[in-house]
Amino acid sequence: MTTATLSIRRFEASDTDAVVALWQEAFPEYREVTRPHRNPHLSIANKMATQPELFFVATLGERLVGTVMAGYDGHRGWLYSLAVDGSQRRLGIGTRLIAHAEAALVAMGCPKVNLQVLTAKQEVRAFYEALGYRADAVISLGKRLGEHASAESASPPSAA
């Protein structure tokens, strides 16, 4: 039996349905209609309008098994939406996606990368700590803007 090889590439529009399905599995809040700011189609459209070259997918053969998005504003980079198919976790896919995104940021001259983890997700924090990430001595503040401002009162303060 042959085993499919993992590859990481830029997101393509034809990946949309598979990415949405993966995100809805990995991030249950993406299924909640009370959180319009967590609309996966909107997240994809926004990323395609802003640094689409920093949106990566991992595939095993033809099967999409992971995603990560990155951003760089000239001061620091950010990582978002790391997701790995539940049946493929703990096989190094997330680690490879992070390394790929970090390399892309370094190639752009990015000196530091940040990410946010919900406080309730200790296993996710442990994953990032194993990759060398450490908690910064800062408090993350956020504010919903525009049409998403009304969603803020409906979401608990820890909902990023």
pLDDT digits (tens, 9 = 90+) for 64-122: 999 999 999 999 999 999 999 999 999 999 999 999 999 999 999 999 999 998 888 88
Nearest CA to 9 out of 52, 73, 47 is that of 52
pTM score, two decimals? 0.85
The pLDDT value recorded for residue 81 is 95
Contact 60, 4 (CB under 8 A): yes
Domains annotated for the chain, with CATH where assigned, are 6-154 (3.40.630.30)
Nearest 5°: the CA angle 153, 21, 32 is 20
User: Is residue 113 within a helix (H) or strand (E), and if so which, with residue range?
Assistant: strand 113-114
Mean pLDDT of 10-18: 97
- Indicate the SS3 state at residue 93: helix
